[in-house]
Amino acid sequence: MDFVPRAIEQAQEKLAEFPAEMFGVYCHDVTKLHELPNLRAPYDMVVDIGCGHGIPVDEAVQYAQDISSLLRPGGVWMLYAHEPTEEHDFGWKLADVCQLSSGHFDLAEQLLSQDTTNGMPSGWYRLVNRG
């Protein structure tokens, strides 16, 4: 899922040899997942690599709720997020991830480090859906 049409086109090209029932590609706003009727939930895992952290924390509550509703109980939300810095005000701190996930997920694991591409503080979080 992406909101950039060209990214969707590239994904469709890469997936062209796979059976269509194995995947879904959507040009859509992730803050409005609840508006997509064609998603084939429940999922075992949702992977977010640098998407959610672009949403301000106070606006991301619906996003976290939507992820939870798409996952089966015990399903995993793998989240990669940059942390905000003095130079970059976007991102989520560990406290933000905990706040967003507190009603729906248990934080099972975290790995905090520096992003190797840009040096920004970042983290991987494995969140388990309470269902």
Residues 114 and 88 in one domain: yes
pLDDT tens for each residue of 97-128: 999 988 899 999 999 998 888 888 999 999 99
For residue 89, the enclosing domain spans 42-129
Residues 25 and 83 in one domain: no
| Cα 86 to chain centroid, rounded | 24
Q: Which amino acid belongs to residue 122? A: S
Residues 27 and 50 in one domain: no
Q: Tell me the C-alpha distance between 59 and 112, whole Å.
A: 23
Kindly report the pTM of this predicted structure: 0.86
Specify the number of domains making up the chain: 2
Residues 35 and 47 in one domain: no
| Pair of tokens at residue 97 | 């991830």
Residues 106 and 52 in one domain: yes
Q: Tell me the C-alpha distance between 56 and 61, whole Å.
A: 9
Look at residues 104, 113, 54, 38 and name the one whose alpha carbon lies nearest to residue 77. 104
| Pair of tokens at residue 83 | 């942390």
